[in-house]
């Protein structure tokens, strides 16, 4: 005589699947969702603290990112406000630099090749790059004029560290 099956009874392989694989799949899915959620939150936090990026010739060398990261949020916002006043000028300058680079590329691929045209395009590119660097130095000068003596010392330390990075030049410490 066979045992009557209940309508809610599951075959043995389904209960094993449900207990092992399905649970593992759910855990993996939950972990992935939490990872994505964490990445989104981290991205928003990073943008809030680093959204006002300081980029461009002159800025990255004279006003290192790490210097600003060491300042309080209110002080950083105050100084970045000075820099942001020039963002449109830098945007136009970067656009001109891209145009100058395209002119160099056009001169390189032109047939017949014209050395004088390439030389002029390279000179224009250099002038545009120098103008951006000069603008960055001017803005850096403005920012430095608003620093406290302690902040100027921190900036000097950062600049010294940056100038030594990757350099094999002797420093004060290792030349003694």
Give the pLDDT confidence of 68-82 residue by residue, as tens digits. Answer: 888 888 898 888 888
**8 A C-beta contact, residue 68 and residue 143:** no
Q: What is the pLDDT of residues 80-125, one digit of tens each?
A: 888 888 888 888 988 999 999 999 999 999 999 999 999 999 999 9
Biggest distance spanned by C-alpha atoms of the chain = 103
Alpha carbon distance 72, 70 (integer Å)? 7
Q: Which residue has the tokens 């963002």?
A: 87
What digits encode the pLDDT tens for the residues 19-60? 566 677 778 887 877 878 887 787 667 655 544 444 444 455
Instruction: Render pLDDT for 137-169 as a digit per residue (tens, 0 to 9).
Output: 888 888 899 999 999 999 888 888 877 765 555
End-to-end CA distance of the chain: 98
What are the residues whose beta carbons fall under 8 Å from the beta carbon of 57, sequence distance 6 or more? 129, 132, 133, 135, 136
Tell me which fold the domain 55-162 belongs to. 1.20.120
């Amino acid at each position: 005589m066979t045992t009557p099956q209940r309508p809610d009874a599951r075959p043995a392989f389904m209960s094993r699947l449900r207990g092992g694989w399905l649970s593992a799949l759910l855990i993996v899915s939950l972990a992935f969702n939490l990872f994505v959620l964490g990445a989104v939150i981290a991205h928003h936090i990073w943008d809030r603290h680093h959204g006002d990026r300081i980029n461009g010739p002159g800025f990255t060398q004279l006003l290192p990112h790490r210097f600003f990261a060491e300042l309080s949020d209110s002080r950083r916002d105050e100084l970045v406000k000075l820099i942001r006043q020039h963002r449109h000028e830098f945007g136009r300058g970067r656009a001109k630099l891209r145009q100058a680079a395209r002119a160099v590329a056009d001169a390189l691929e032109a047939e017949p090749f014209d050395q004088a045209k390439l030389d002029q395009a390279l000179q224009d590119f250099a002038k545009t790059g120098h103008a951006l660097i000069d603008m960055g130095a001017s803005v850096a000068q403005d920012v430095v004029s608003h620093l406290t003596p302690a902040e100027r010392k921190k900036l000097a330390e950062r600049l010294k560290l940056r100038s030594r990075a990757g350099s094999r030049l002797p420093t004060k410490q290792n030349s003694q």
